[in-house]
Amino acid sequence: MKQQVDRKRRDVKFEVEDWVYLKAQPYRLKSLVKRRNEKLSPRYYGPFQVVAKVGEVAYKLRLPENSRIHPVFHVSKLKRAVPIEKHVQPLLMYDKVTHL
């Protein structure tokens, strides 16, 4: 029975100052994002910075000051934000004579 439950379970831990995306229902985030149509709203909002770890499975996020929601979220509502690399590799240019 335990194997069945643990099959899709993921052990996620974040550090303070990590960046995460927040998964929440659109009707709860009206203070964060103004949307005309909730059906087309994104699944994840953010990225937001982790301020502190609260207990074993909850994290406090740095939300905008005008947001009217509680800043502590369960780990299942968070997804790690992948840092965007600003270094761009230049394209290789081939000579027309040597490469057909």
**Cα separation of 16 and 39, whole Å?**
33
**Interval 36-69: pLDDT, tens:** 666 777 788 889 999 999 999 999 999 988 888 8
Domains and CATH numbers, the chain: 12-80 (2.30.30)
Per-residue pLDDT, 86 = 64
What does each C-alpha distance from 13 to 3, 34, 57, 83 come to in angstroms? 21, 30, 8, 17
Per-residue pLDDT, 96 = 61
Per-residue pLDDT, 24 = 79
Q: Where are the alpha helices (DSSP H) in 1-100?
A: 2-6
**Interval 69-96: pLDDT, tens:** 899 999 999 999 987 766 666 666 666 6
**Cα separation of 13 and 21, whole Å?**
14
Both tokens of 72, joined, read 């502590």
Cis status, amide bond into 47, omega within 30 of 0: yes
Under the banding of pLDDT at 50, 70 and 90, the label for residue 33 is low
